[in-house]
Amino acid sequence: MADRGNTVLVVGSLHYDIFVEADHLPRKDETAVGSRWFPKFGGKGGNQAVAARGNGVPSRMVGAVGDDDFGVFLRDRLLRAGVDDRHVATAPAAASGMSVAIMDKTGDYAATIVSGANLLISPAGLQNPEVWRDVGLLVLQNEVPEAVNIAAAEEARGRGIKTLLNAAPSRPMSSEFTSLVDILVVNAVEAEMMGAEPLTSLSGAADAAKALADRFEAVIVTAGSLGLAAWGEDDEQFSIAAEKITVVSSHGAGDTFIGALAANIVQGATFRSACAAASHSAAEHVAGRRTTMFAD
């Protein structure tokens, strides 16, 4: 990467999460009884911006919230975490994005999101030079319109800044967009949606990374409790086994991983070292020992 600033710029979603704890996840047509609920700061974009800041680097957010109590909550949590929110717009005619997530007693969860104001992020606003001041890496996800992601990635490419895409949730992506992505991060399901074989082992994750590497400069395939496999510049290939931990909650592990990965990249870590640090950070989060993602 060119010698740039050490700010991580995240363009993406902000969601007010309603988090429910229950004995088990409900099946179709079942009404499950929960034990408690609480609000959480969320949205992949917001989570990753907070996680990057929690790993010791400046973090800036571009997004949108509604002119409502949820929006006030989201801005407050960004500011508490030390994230620069000057480029988060308030959309007066829309509700803030939100989600409902249910976590069972084993730590597994399922969620539904409603995008709201996240669909109203202005691509034109990304041309503002202040958005890019001291930026060393752009981080994107798939919870905002692709037109926004393309506008951000084009600006980054024109400024010599690399783009990292966490292609979650999985959705069809145009070649116009993917051609602007330098570093792709996907989990097993997302890798399969992009054409890889079903993943049942770490070697399978390595095969998936290799298959995707013809379209991206670097690829990381995360495989949950198995670990990750990566394919980097100059055909660098490696796998990192997951740490053995007791799971408290897997909710947010992916966003914790991305934030730590981005922070280590802008601090000049090697690709392998950045992946190892991110894997450790995610393991600490899942084990309940690391809380840098959420600004609660």
pLDDT for the residue numbered 231: 95
d(CA 274, CA 268): 9
d(CA 13, CA 143): 6
- 213 contacts 231 by C-beta, under 8 angstroms: yes
Query: What is the count of structural domains for the chain?
Result: 1
pLDDT-based confidence at 291, cuts 50/70/90? Answer: low
Q: Which residues lie closer than 8 Å to 88 by C-beta, 6 or more apart?
A: 14, 61, 62, 63, 64, 65, 75, 78
d(CA 139, CA 61): 10
Please determine, for residue 296, whether its predicted confidence score (pLDDT) is greater than 80.
no
Q: Which stretch of 42-46, 48-52, 192-196 has the lowest confidence by average pLDDT?
A: 192-196
Task: With respect to residue 104, please indicate whether it lies within any of the assigned structural domains.
Answer: no
pLDDT-based confidence at 87, cuts 50/70/90? Answer: very high
Task: With respect to residue 218, please indicate whether it lies within any of the assigned structural domains.
Answer: yes
Q: Which stretch of 8-22, 54-68, 183-197 has the lowest confidence by average pLDDT?
A: 183-197
- The H-or-E segment that residue 204 falls in is helix 202-212
- Specify the higher pLDDT residue, 1 or 100: 100
> What value does the mean pLDDT of the chain take?
92
Record the pTM.
0.92
CA–centroid distance for 75 within its chain: 18
d(CA 144, CA 200): 30
The pair of structure tokens assigned to 87 is 């480029």
- Specify the higher pLDDT residue, 183 or 106: 183
Please determine, for residue 267, whether its predicted confidence score (pLDDT) is greater than 70.
yes
The pair of structure tokens assigned to 278 is 């991110």
Q: Which residues lie closer than 8 Å to 187 by C-beta, 6 or more apart?
A: 168, 221, 222, 223, 224, 254
pLDDT-based confidence at 68, cuts 50/70/90? Answer: very high
Averaged over 140-148, what is the pLDDT?
A: 97
Task: With respect to residue 209, please indicate whether it lies within any of the assigned structural domains.
Answer: yes
The pair of structure tokens assigned to 140 is 């994107």
- Specify the higher pLDDT residue, 173 or 249: 173
Q: What is the DSSP string of 44-58?
A: HHHHHHHHHHHTTS-
Task: With respect to residue 296, please indicate whether it lies within any of the assigned structural domains.
Answer: no
pLDDT for the residue numbered 2: 43
d(CA 138, CA 181): 10
Domain that holds residue 54: 7-14+42-96+117-286
Task: With respect to residue 167, please indicate whether it lies within any of the assigned structural domains.
Answer: yes
Task: With respect to residue 207, please indicate whether it lies within any of the assigned structural domains.
Answer: yes
pLDDT-based confidence at 290, cuts 50/70/90? Answer: low
Task: With respect to residue 110, please indicate whether it lies within any of the assigned structural domains.
Answer: no
275: CATH: 3.40.1190.20
Task: With respect to residue 259, please indicate whether it lies within any of the assigned structural domains.
Answer: yes
For 105, left (φ over 0), alpha (ψ -120 to 50), or beta?
alpha
- 54 contacts 79 by C-beta, under 8 angstroms: no
pLDDT for the residue numbered 294: 57
